Chain A
Amino acid sequence: MKARAFEYVRASSLQDAFEAFARVSGDCCYLAGGQSLVPSLSLRLQAPAMLIDISRIDELRGITLADDMLRIGALTRHAEMLTSPEIARHAPLLQLAAPHVAHPAIRNRGTIGGAIALADPAAEFPAVTLALDAEFEIAGPEGLRRVRAEGFFKGLYETALEPGEILTAIRIPPFRAGDRAVFDELARRRGDYAIVGAGIQGRVAGDRIESLRIAFLSVGPAPIRARHAEAAVAGHALSPAVIAGAQAALERDLDPAEDPQTSPAMRLHLARVLLGRLLGRLGEHPACKGAHA
């Protein structure tokens, strides 16, 4: 099978893209890296009249630090998360998650903006943006707006993006001294969909975890923060009892659905194990050494 015949438009600016969108009354898709869209079109899961290629819009590129925020252009490729010194320095959680995203050929094409706009519940970057307290820059015909990651992911492939809008950049508070980041996931094979995954960014003060944000992927229709687990850790040194408390609290944070191979109870168990190990690694930093004494 093959994609339905459609028109193809290469937009050279956001304005271009919005005009094309209006011309077909929204019967279109924005094409960036295409790593989800191209196969989806070929399977006719989507059949738009027009494909608007936004991959050459310069405004969507670049990684910059300004106003104490790291701005990552939406067209930044997954592969750059592994190689960019800015990412390594200011958003290391993205770098930690990137090796788990598909494989190199896909990472060389796929874009972070595309991953976030698609909001696949099994994708790594959407969950990571929750842990990073990121906000998204969104452009539409009416102008720019900003939405926090917190309120962006609404449900299964559902986001706060309105029809016609384009996610232009991700803005992240830069990593500071005392910050710690850990990421891991359980996939049957590296690069494949995770059965469960989580990213944590925390701030350490002395031997205590002063604050932290824990975000899970693949445990529900959308990435989700584990607030009860966070509360069980925040303000404490990472003792085995605190970690066990955070693991126990997960039951109130996550409500995984049934799937043929993984029951909700099994997924919750896996999430607890993963969280326990990630918190252990968070605590392995010299600043937390006291916790294990």
Chain B
Amino acid sequence: MNERPSLSGAAPVSFTLNGIARTVVTAPGERLSEVVRRGLGLTGTKVGCNAGDCGACTVLMDGAQVCACMVAARQAEGRSMVSIEGLAELPLGRALQAAFHRHDAAQCGICTPGMLMAAADVLSRHASPDRQTVMDAMGGVLCRCTGYLKIVDAVLDVAQAGLQTKGSGARPGEAVGQRVLRLDGAPKLTGEALYGDDGAPADALWLKAIRSPHAHARFSLGDLAPFLTRHPGIVRVFTAGDVPGENAFGIYPDLKDQPVFGEGIVRHRGEAVLALAGTRAALEAVQIADLPITWEPLPGLHGVQAALAEGAPAIHAGKPDNVLTRGVVACGQPEAARANAAHIAEGTFETSFVEHAYIEPEAGYARRVGDRMEIHACTQAPMMDRDEVARVLGLAREHVRIVPTACGGGFGGKLDVSLQPMLAVAAWHLDRPVRCVYERIESMASTTKRHPARIRARASCDAAGRLVSYELDGDFNTGAYASWGPTVAGRVPVHAAGPYRVPHVRNRARAVYTNDTPAGAFRGFGVPQAAIAHEALLDDLAEQAGIDRLELRHRNALRAGDTTPTGQVLGASAGLVACLDALRPRWQALLSDAAAFNAWSHALRRGLGIGCMWYGIGNTGLSNPSTMRLTLARDGTLTFWNGAVDIGQGSTTVLTQIAADALGLPVSAFRLVVGDTDVTFDAGKTSASRQTFVSGKAAQLAGEALRTRILRLTNAGPGARLDLDGARLIVADGGEQTVVDLAQLPAAGDGIVLEGVGTFDPPTTPLDAKGQGIPYATYGFAAQIASVDVDLGLGTVKVRRIVAAHDVGRAINPALVEGQIHGGIAQGLGLALMEEFIPGRTENLHDYLIPTFGDMPEIEVHLIEDREPLGPYGAKGIGEPALIPTAPAILGAIRHATGVTIRKVPALPHRVHAALAAAGKAVEF
């Protein structure tokens, strides 16, 4: 492609933004979003897709919502615009922000500016819109966290001024269990929260990776000098040879199989082979064909069947059969037991690649500080990032600092490093800050996915419906590199028989290398896939045994005192029975509703399904400690040093609530320092639903430790009341009151006078060769029911309603727990009905569809609080449990509606129609 100087045609454009007249010089091709963010430095307007698909960049132009990424900046000439930074000046602007805060309508916050602008648009047109009007008007803005319902509630709250509002500031010692407003919520509502692409040193260069268009190929690089001469804005090209340390990363210590830059071979489409550093304009002008890369495409192994086939070539040396790892759990004698069972059900199930589709693409910057490296980027796992970057640079880990930015969604996809190693290599050599933001297509093509699964499973029960055996063989497509494949292969066999008493079990899972996109961590680590199988088989058994589907599950539910297939005795907090009891009245009512509906409806059939799950909190049979620290400084500053990254799920708020009650001071007294590896202890990664349970317990211990020090200092009893008034710490015990002048206490160099540190590592044991042991200290339990309408003519499925019951041990913050459940249900619905990532084909947000407003059902949440004695104030986790039961419940409902079992998800209309047609159930009207 012939290139012209990038500034040719640059000219000023003048407009009014947030009431201020602006004139900016723009290149002809520039989008309004770029002018606002980079030209004017107003980074509250977010960019999620650059294609009009996500709506994160929504602004008002002459009072109407538009996608700023879809407007040529020159067309803004003379227009009047409002961005999130000006929202507060609009009528109802502040009211909208406050309502979003009260309703917890912003989780990660990356979609929030766009949501608020779309909300301002709808309220300017409709004085009292109904629910549908709000949903239609905001339907172009995607959210991956909230499940949308709380957003609609917030907008209607403003419109109706009187709708139920929630949220409270808690008094000392009473924060746990309260709907404390998100402590990091306010900056997300004003556009002030800084995400990965929202800031970098002014002299930062830009980095762009060049990626393989082939799934499997050898390549060689020619002379790069002529390329650099032709592109004067490009400072340097980085290849494998430029990596100072190991050109490898990966989650497991013995599986660092993923190169920063390919070395002569690429194993999946989207793999980076080199990176360019230079000016933004110069990088944007580069096409892959401009580079002297010679590709020699090789046949690729796509899908586990190809990779496991006889004679398939090995993708990695040392794994001749392409099997990365195997996991197993075996107990009893399933084959013998099955032979005597009254009923047997079996089936084969398939799931697809699923994309995390966080609205914030990977972004950040690196800078070298002397002989140290500093990375500011969005992440779920700062300490792991630190270790990976240190290895790549050949530095001691203490020489790397990770400062997490606000994280615009993760869901497991930001547990692996992405751009961090490349940025570090470039910044190290250039000794100059280097920044990068992935394009949406690049993010989708190159980062990890949910493992596609092929599962064969068999379950049996006795005449009374009591489960006898469960056997599963699951192959999980881990793609070209290991990532979290071993975690999936290890976690699935433990959970695959479902949350039930099953005496005879043999579950085997394999993670298999292919030439597909690497699959890694995604909310549930393989358990959502396995749950689709066990719940379908339970429905089969219920039908064969003539027992109601809910009652069959109730009969088999794990209870405290039961032994799991790994030989673990559940000591306490196994609340599935309570979940099912909570759902039973709704189940009966919705069954009647479906029968009544179907009595007159023909093309549309209504069905009801139920899904149950259990989920081990934390790592599988591995140590996963967290350490939290609280300090009081001589000036009275109470600081919570919290290494747990809040990716929108709310750990910052939840952990502070816990620490506050343990210490005995109000949440408002805390200064928060979150996730900087130089100043916080290792809290472990934000994954495996572990932060509330593990870091929460550490926060409780830290709070108690600091409280104990204070009480000792003042000789006060355990029931003493604390107050902090500037540097005066007041301890009231019965009638006695002691005032501690913190300024008078001996201080460490940093002014800290009192400290409390807490560490918690959940008690587990490694699994033995038969998968026996104590893999998790505690488990979450849940059941959901789904009511759906299936269109027998078109093959479409509409989820009408989900009723969800979740045993969370204790809801530290019920509003945030509900938010997790709503968001999990949205992702579970996507898994069941909509989402299928196909490398090279659905690498954007209009070919890869995630649920939006109109796809959401009504949701009713029942929180079951069967206290976990090990957990902080009885709490367990909710992040992943929220998603797991949804797809099984929806698929069960399709079957109930139509008599057809869908064995491959997503249940897209063509698959549903094909299944209906094969069963003679499809209609022509």
Chain A interface residues (CB < 8 Å from chain B): 1-8, 10, 31, 34-35, 38-39, 41-42, 44, 47, 51, 53, 55, 79, 99, 102-106, 108-109, 186, 188-193, 195, 244, 247, 260-263, 266, 269-270, 272-274, 276-277, 280
Say yes or no: A2 contacts B285, CB within 8 Å. yes
Total number of residue pairs linking A and B with CB closer than 8 Å: 159
Say yes or no: A109 contacts B70, CB within 8 Å. yes
- Chain A positions within 8 Å of B913 at CB level: 266, 269-270
Say yes or no: A38 contacts B66, CB within 8 Å. no
Say yes or no: A195 contacts B7, CB within 8 Å. no
Chain B interface residues (CB < 8 Å from chain A): 1, 3-9, 11, 27-31, 50-52, 55, 58, 61, 64-67, 69-72, 74-75, 77, 118, 121, 136-141, 281, 284-285, 287, 439, 793-794, 796, 834, 838, 841, 846, 849, 851-852, 854-855, 908-910, 913-914, 922-925
- Chain B positions within 8 Å of A99 at CB level: 136
Knowing A106-B140, A276-B925, the reply to whether A2 touches B55 (Cβ < 8 A) is no
Q: List 18 A-B contacts (CB under 8 A).
A: A2-B285, A4-B29, A5-B4, A5-B9, A10-B74, A39-B51, A55-B75, A103-B140, A105-B65, A105-B141, A109-B71, A188-B834, A190-B854, A192-B849, A263-B910, A266-B910, A270-B913, A280-B925
Q: Which of A35, A41, A272 contacts B924 (CB 8 A)?
A: A272
Say yes or no: B29 contacts A104, CB within 8 Å. no
Closest to B914 in A: A266
Say yes or no: B9 contacts A38, CB within 8 Å. no
Q: Which of A5, A7, A53, A274 contacts B75 (CB 8 A)?
A: A53
- Chain A positions within 8 Å of B854 at CB level: 189-190
Say yes or no: B70 contacts A38, CB within 8 Å. yes
Say yes or no: A3 contacts B924, CB within 8 Å. no
Closest to A191 in B: B139
CB distance from A44 to the nearest CB of B (A): 7
Knowing A186-B796, A273-B793, the reply to whether A4 touches B4 (Cβ < 8 A) is yes
List of 6 A-B pairs having minimum Cβ-Cβ separation, nearest first:
A103-B140, A3-B29, A2-B284, A273-B793, A8-B28, A108-B64
Say yes or no: B77 contacts A193, CB within 8 Å. no
Closest to B51 in A: A39
CB distance from B225 to the nearest CB of A (A): 24
- Chain A positions within 8 Å of B284 at CB level: 1-2
Say yes or no: A105 contacts B439, CB within 8 Å. no
Q: CA of A108 to CA of B855 in the docked complex: distance in angstroms?
A: 23
Interface of B is mostly: loop
Chain A CB within 10 Å, residue with most, of B11, B118, B852, B909:
B909
Say yes or no: A192 contacts B1, CB within 8 Å. no
Say yes or no: A53 contacts B794, CB within 8 Å. no
- Chain A positions within 8 Å of B69 at CB level: 38-39
Say yes or no: A277 contacts B72, CB within 8 Å. no
- Chain A positions within 8 Å of B66 at CB level: 105, 108-109
Closest to B791 in A: A273
Say yes or no: B71 contacts A5, CB within 8 Å. no
Q: CA of A269 to CA of B846 in the docked complex: distance in angstroms?
A: 24
Say yes or no: A4 contacts B1, CB within 8 Å. yes
Knowing A103-B139, A189-B834, A277-B925, the reply to whether A1 touches B11 (Cβ < 8 A) is no
Say yes or no: B55 contacts A105, CB within 8 Å. yes
CB distance from B925 to the nearest CB of A (A): 5
Knowing A105-B118, A105-B140, A109-B66, the reply to whether A188 touches B31 (Cβ < 8 A) is no
Q: Which of A5, A41, A53 contacts B6 (CB 8 A)?
A: A5
- Chain B positions within 8 Å of A104 at CB level: 65, 118, 121, 136-140
CB distance from A45 to the nearest CB of B (A): 12
Q: CA of A131 to CA of B273 in the docked complex: distance in angstroms?
A: 52
Say yes or no: A8 contacts B9, CB within 8 Å. yes
- Chain B positions within 8 Å of A273 at CB level: 793-794, 923-925
Closest to A37 in B: B72
- Chain B positions within 8 Å of A270 at CB level: 794, 909, 913
